[in-house]
Amino acid sequence: MRILLLGGTGEARALAAALHPDVEVISSLAGRVPDPALPVGQVRIGGFGGVDGLRRWLTDTPVDAVVDATHPFAATITAHAAEVCADLALPHLLLARPAWPPGDAIVVGNDREAAEAVARQRFSRVFLTTGRTGVGAFRDSVGWFLVRAVTPPDIALLPRHHHVLLSRGPYRYDDEMAVLRTHRIDALVTKNSGGEMTRPKLDAAAALGIPVVMVDRPPLPPGVRTVATVEDAVAWLRCR
């Protein structure tokens, strides 16, 4: 059996490791980060060239199934995979880790709404963890932003008063507490990524009574078989 595994997440690496070497896994990464954590098995790196490129790739490289284990906010590749797999009648599974319960967070629909919420609430020392591409929505924001990202954001997109913290998860609770305290943070802005790797910032914010602005997930494409765990994805593949 050979599968295309759309990755770039810890779950995708765990799934590749669970299947290797019984299943021939071709993991696909977008190529956004210069030194990505690599899964075991074959890896291809870079975009496919939109829906048509993915269709071509899957026609040239026959696979028995496509498993989409990309990040919950990687909505474009997820939509492309859903469309192409439906067109080609290819078995297709979405591995989507459960969302975090929002609790008392101010839930917003996108980065722009998050910036509006920050302005409305007059937060002035914001820990912005929505990633390199989400920063642009805060470009005209007043206040000071601690911007955490894996790779450096485009300088033109950064808010006027900022400090960039380059780092990659997983993060530990004690370290997140230290970040919030050291920088006298008064609000945390996060995507609802779910999972354990980046969860400690929420626990630390809750412990310190720091409000959270949480960007809700984009909707999943309709009609795609979805599981929440690596184990369930393995079980689905074993049944094929």
Per CB under 6 A, residues contacting ligand NAP are 6-9, 28-30, 32, 47-50, 53-54, 70-71, 73-77, 80, 131
Instruction: Work out how close the CB of 150 gets to ligand NAP at its nearest, in angstroms, rounded to a whole number.
Output: 8
Instruction: Work out how close the CB of 95 gets to ligand NAP at its nearest, in angstroms, rounded to a whole number.
Output: 11
By beta-carbon proximity to ligand NAP, the closer residue of 34 and 209 is 34
**Which of 131, 66, 82, 107 shows the shortest CA–CA distance to 217?**
107
By beta-carbon proximity to ligand NAP, the closer residue of 160 and 170 is 170
Instruction: Work out how close the CB of 193 gets to ligand NAP at its nearest, in angstroms, rounded to a whole number.
Output: 7
By beta-carbon proximity to ligand NAP, the closer residue of 169 and 211 is 169
In this structure, what are the phi and psi dihedrals at residue 140, rounded to the nearest 5 degrees? Answer: -95, 10
CA separation for the pair 6, 95 (Å, rounded): 10
Within 10 Å of residue 30's Cβ, how many Cβ atoms?
18
CA separation for the pair 193, 213 (Å, rounded): 13
By beta-carbon proximity to ligand NAP, the closer residue of 76 and 124 is 76
Question: Measured at CB, which residue is nearest to ligand NAP?
Answer: 47
First to last CA, the chain: 9
H helix and E strand count, the chain: 7, 12
Instruction: Work out how close the CB of 177 gets to ligand NAP at its nearest, in angstroms, rounded to a whole number.
Output: 23
Strands 2-6, 24-29: pairing kind:
parallel
Instruction: Work out how close the CB of 181 gets to ligand NAP at its nearest, in angstroms, rounded to a whole number.
Output: 26
By beta-carbon proximity to ligand NAP, the closer residue of 55 and 162 is 55
